[in-house]
Every structure is written in structure tokens, then in C-alpha cells.
Amino acid sequence: MTIEHNHETSKRRPINLTISQDVISEAKKLSLNTSKAAEYGILEAIKQEKEKLWLKKNRAAVEAHNNRVEKNGTYIKPVWIEE
């Protein structure tokens, strides 16, 4: 699952964040763009939450598929599985 996001064309707006002073100091030492780093972290959190919600929503289908494969095998035998 990927999140399409373009820093260059996205409309931006300022917000206030509370971040550990140690984290900010280290980021400044490394000349990191803290806005982009924070945005990346938020995007990753969004991705993880969406994945978690997808798995929860589709748990029954995934389990049914796994049970079918366990019982009957795959439709096509992968070439890397030895006989």
C-alpha cells in the first residue's frame, strides 16, 4: 500500500507540533528539513493505520483463503517449491 504524495504540488499550511528537544537538536545537527521529516512520519502513520484497518476489514476473507490453501494447496505450484 502506497500513499501518493507530492511535496512540491501539495497545498501546504503551517501547524504547531510538540516534538522532543533531543529529536529537534539531532535533526538540526543533520541539517534535516523538519517539516518534511514530520510530514513523512505522519504519512507513514497514516499508511500503517490504513493497513491495520484493511486487515481488520478483510480478516475473514484472508483467513478463508489461507484455510483453502492449507487444505487444497495453491492453484499453481510455485517453481521454487521442490517435490
The pLDDT tens digits for 11-55 are: 999 999 999 999 999 999 999 999 999 999 999 999 999 999 999
Question: pLDDT value at position 63?
Answer: 97
**For residues 52-65, average pLDDT:** 98
Grid coordinates given for 2:
502506497
Grid coordinates given for 51:
493497513
Grid coordinates given for 52:
491495520
| CA 33 to chain CA centroid, nearest Å | 21
Q: Where are the domains of the chain?
A: 21-72
Band (pLDDT 50/70/90 cuts) for residue 8 is low
E strand or H helix at 37, and its extent?
helix 34-72
pLDDT value at 56 more than 70: yes
